[in-house]
Amino acid sequence: MADTQRKDTSEQGKFREYCREWLANNHPGEPGVRLPQSPLEIMTNEQMNYLQQWQKSAYDAGLVGCDYPEQVGGSGRKDCQRIANDEMLRAKTPYFPNVIGLGMAAPTVFYHGQDALKQRLLPKLFSGEDIWCQGFSEPGAGSDLASVQTFAKKSGGKWIVNGHKVWTSLAHFAEWMIILLRTDKSHKYDGLSYFVVPIKSALGNGVTVKPLIKITGETGFNEVIFENLEIDDSYRLDELGRGWQVAMTTLLHERGAGDLHTPRAGGLKSKSAHTSNAISLISLAKEVTRNGKRVADDPIIRDRIMNCIIREQGLSENQRRGRVPELLDHPMRIPLQNKLLSSEIAQEIASLAMDIEGAASSLYVGDENAPAGGQWPLAYLNSYGMTIAAGTSEVQRNILGERVLGLAKSK
Amino acid sequence: MSNNTYGFDQDAALLKDSARKFFSEKLPVDKLHELVANDPTLGRAPRSNWSEELWQEMIDLGWSMVAVPESAGGLGMPAVAVAGLMEECGRAAIPSPMLSTLATTYVLAAAEAIEPLADICSGEAATLAISGSRDAWDLASTEVTYNNGKLSGTSYYVQDVDKVQKILVSAHSDSEILLFWVDKKSNGVNIDLDTIVDLTRDQGRVSFEAVEAKPISFKGLSALVEAMPKIWMLVSADIAGAAEWQLQTTVEYVNARKQFDKALGFFQAIKHPLVDVMIKVDETRSLLYSMANSISASPEKATQLAHMLKASASDLAGFASGRSVQSHGGIGFTWECYVHIYFKRQKHSQMLFGDASWHRARLADILIGPVAA
Ligand SMILES: Cc1cc2nc3c(=O)[nH]c(=O)nc-3n(C[C@H](O)[C@H](O)[C@H](O)COP(=O)(O)OP(=O)(O)OC[C@H]3O[C@@H](n4cnc5c(N)ncnc54)[C@H](O)[C@@H]3O)c2cc1C
């Protein structure tokens, strides 16, 4: 930490102090409700209300949207979101509920929306008053995203939307959706256009949201069905037929490779919301026994824990080296690894935690004897969400191979 | 200049850049192959193939004294700059006593041995004789003893010994380990070169028969302990540079070679593992510069980071080598194809000064604590 501070610009340094002081006085405290491991599994209004209040207070204090211009509800600072994120992580605040909004919708609307639309939508996105969701995937279009079929038909100055989106996280709370639509059936890529759609106000009136139950038993993602939903042309981002290019902005930011830093809070540790890093495996391994000895003394487990710690350290050092142009061979080489590595490392850590727990790893959330409240099996199950969502690990490897190494395209 | 550069400043960038240009001009891979791979005979007598003239040019550029502190007459460049230079030595798979000389320099600097450092500044190359026949990376493993002003016994796995003038020897003396600076030509010093897999290095056993010597300073083992993280850094940098060569060379090949009407790189069984090689190179490089920077910025973390680094680098060395040969198919299995030169250098570097599980075990001792008895 001392290391990063020394490298702050004077604006960053002052802002860091401000954040620190504000957080010392305004941490929202222990939630009265059980929080899930990530915002993608928020199920109840109580959870959502608590988290929305927290995001609003952080926004009002200037810790969200720091790098966006003031006209769109940001604070017009330079490279300061990183600083706020650092400090929120240190202060172990809860996460923000509007993850899709902050991470994907905001940069997309910002880069591709008209001024009036930005000014109208972004302030409430940053404050968390409007929750956003992302309507990309469909039953027939997953990894091959450009094959989406949900169709928008022009009718006067309006569009009539029909189709079926799936796996839509947070749609059950969302006011708005960013959506990739087909406006022309004769061109795969150039037939796509990108819109923002108000969905909550259209529920029962052209939009149906049906929750889906995840592998963990939680809800959080949904099917969203459009039946003759009428939307205004002013909700279109960028030109007609440029949907694919706009979607690239969304995906780049979703995968942590965009140029706008996503506001991110987190690190709150309570029994129910337990963050899982490799170091925490050490204390776990000291508590459990195997063959009459501490698991922490088993050479193979020791080796595996160290391997996780090294991979985790390597990933965080990647972020740092990513800021030293002299030590980079290709500008996208490190950024495009972020999502792949963070999800795979988290998976490996959770899997190892279960091996360390041994027989007790069979005990799940709700069992009073489950170590750590059953959070590790839950984390392991949830980890597959991360290696599948936002482009699967296989798709990430295709992208890295093709875009960075220049290997032959697989399509 | 961005403000988050690991202390990797313009001088460091310049050094790395000019090393890269120098090697690609003076010893491109076809020349390297002619130089080191001129005799494939299995069971051939040990030999060290290298270009002394090239080494002399490297000395003239000041590279052999980059790590000698300014106070001892050297260039005193920071570890991040040295790491950059070593990365380029690895990328070129350069046969030279560079790694050994820099490694020795770090031990001498830790021991504050001014006169031997002056020898390095005068252009002499040096190496470490610190390993016994077993448990070579244990600093207590040396089988050389010091009695009545004389060294006796044999040192094993001495790197680049054919190419150097001086040897830094560790020896047991009563209850402690001390360090000695020995001229290779001294009476009683005998060298037997090993037959090794790696074509770009030489290695040998050095025996001492009543060789007269004096300890270089009151520091012995402690100087070695202090220098080891930097030595792991040097080997890891070499591995990272060589692995990037393996990656780029293999990518080039699988883009050019067609089977089933497609460039090989189209197939995910080829593509995805190459991406994983790239990911591992990046992990190692990021740990490399972080570790190098920690030497001055947060020295309390240097040993830990160095174990992480060499563990990562050793895994990288094995993995990148395997993929490079496998992805080349039959041609990759021949003596004629250049990939074997790097394959063999990497397999050597992989074990040199401790392999991955050795380093992870040491790291576990630090982070978890020793295994309960
Ligand atoms: C927790 C979670 C949250 C999500 N949230 C959202 C959301 O909010 N909005 C949204 O739009 N979508 C969301 N998704 C959907 C997600 O983006 C898709 O599931 C994902 O892109 C994969 O598509 P698919 O499920 O159709 O799988 P498929 O594309 O059918 O893939 C099945 C398997 O085949 C592999 N595969 C496919 N193509 C290739 C190829 N070319 N090469 C190699 N292997 C291949 C995949 O890697 C995978 O292993 C979410 C998913 C999850 C799990």
Q: Whose CA is nearest to atom 30 of ligand 1?
A: A142
What is the three-state SS of A52-69? HHHHHHHHHCCCCCCCCC
Q: Is A332 on the interface with B (CB under 8 A)?
A: no
Contacts of B114 (CB under 8 A, 6+ apart): B72
Which of A282, A320, A397 minimises the CB distance to B368?
Answer: A282
A250 within ligand 1 shell (Cβ under 6 A): no
Q: Has domain A133-254 been given CATH number 2.40.50.140? A: no
Q: Assess whether pLDDT exceeds 70 at residue B302.
A: yes
pLDDT for A4: 53
SS3 A186: coil
A400 to B290: CB separation less than 8 angstroms, yes or no: no
| Cα end-to-end span (Å), chain A | 44
Interface test with B, best of A317, A320, A330, A345 (most B CBs within 10 A): A317
CA atoms within 13 A on the CB side of B343: 19
Chain centre distance of CA A381: 17
Share of chain B above pLDDT 90, in %: 97
Closest by alpha carbon to A233, among A154, A138, A175? A154
Torsion sign, CA atoms B288, B293, B297, B303? positive
Token readout for A107 is 């940069």
Residues of A in contact with B308 (CB under 8 A): 309-310, 313-314
Furthest C-alpha separation in chain A = 76
Q: Is B69 exposed, middle or buried (0-12, 13-18, 19+ CB in 10 A)?
A: middle
A229-238, A259-268, B43-52, B206-215: which range is least confident on average? Answer: A259-268
Closest by alpha carbon to B64, among B97, B107, B113, B25? B97
Which of A286, A306, A400 minimises the CB distance to B278?
Answer: A400
Q: What are the structural domains, with CATH classification, of chain B?
A: 3-125 (1.10.540.10), 127-219 (2.40.110.10), 222-372 (1.20.140.10)
In angstroms, what is the span from residue A393 Cα to ligand 1's centroid?
A: 9
Which ipTM score applies to this complex?
0.96
**Domain A2-97+111-129: which CATH number of 3.40.50.720, 1.10.540.10, 3.40.50.10880, 1.10.1040.10:** 1.10.540.10
Measured between CA atoms, the residue of chain B closest to residue A286 is B368
Closest by alpha carbon to A38, among A327, A406, A382, A347? A382
Closest by alpha carbon to B346, among B196, B193, B238? B238
Are A303 and A309 in contact, with CB atoms under 8 Å apart? Answer: no
pLDDT for A272: 42
Write down how long chain A is: 411
Mean pLDDT, contiguous 10-residue spans, chain A (411 residues): 65 97 95 91 95 98 98 97 95 96 98 97 98 98 97 96 98 98 97 98 97 96 98 97 98 89 77 65 94 95 98 95 89 95 96 96 96 92 96 97 96 72
Q: Where in chain A is the domain with CATH 2.40.110.10?
A: 133-254
Q: Whose CA is nearest to atom 53 of ligand 1?
A: A385
Any idea what DSSP says for residue B331? Answer: G
Chain centre distance of CA A214: 17
Distance from CA of A297 to the nearest CA of B (A): 5
Q: Where in chain A is the domain with CATH 1.20.140.10?
A: 280-404
CA atoms within 13 A on the CB side of A161: 32
Q: Which residues of B10-32 are buried (b: 16+ CB within 10 A; e: fewer)?
A: eebbebbeebbebbeebbebeeb
Give tens-digit pLDDT for B23-36. 999 999 999 999 99
pLDDT for A255: 87
pLDDT for A5: 55
Q: Is B262 on the interface with A (CB under 8 A)?
A: yes
B368 to A302: CB separation less than 8 angstroms, yes or no: yes
Torsion sign, CA atoms A274, A278, A279, A282? positive
pLDDT for A231: 96
Q: Where in chain A is the domain with CATH 1.10.540.10?
A: 2-97+111-129
A321 to B265: CB separation less than 8 angstroms, yes or no: no
Are A136 and A148 in contact, with CB atoms under 8 Å apart? Answer: yes
Q: Assess whether pLDDT exceeds 90 at residue B4.
A: no
Kindly state the helix (H) or strand (E) to which residue B66 belongs, with its residue range. none
CATH of region A280-404: 1.20.140.10
Are B151 and B180 in contact, with CB atoms under 8 Å apart? Answer: yes
The pTM of the full predicted model, rounded to 2 decimals, is 0.95
Contacts of B347 (CB under 8 A, 6+ apart): B197, B198, B317, B318, B321
| Cα end-to-end span (Å), chain B | 52
Confidence category of residue B3, pLDDT binned at 50, 70, 90: very low
Q: Cα–Cα distance between B368 and B283 in angstroms, integer? A: 23
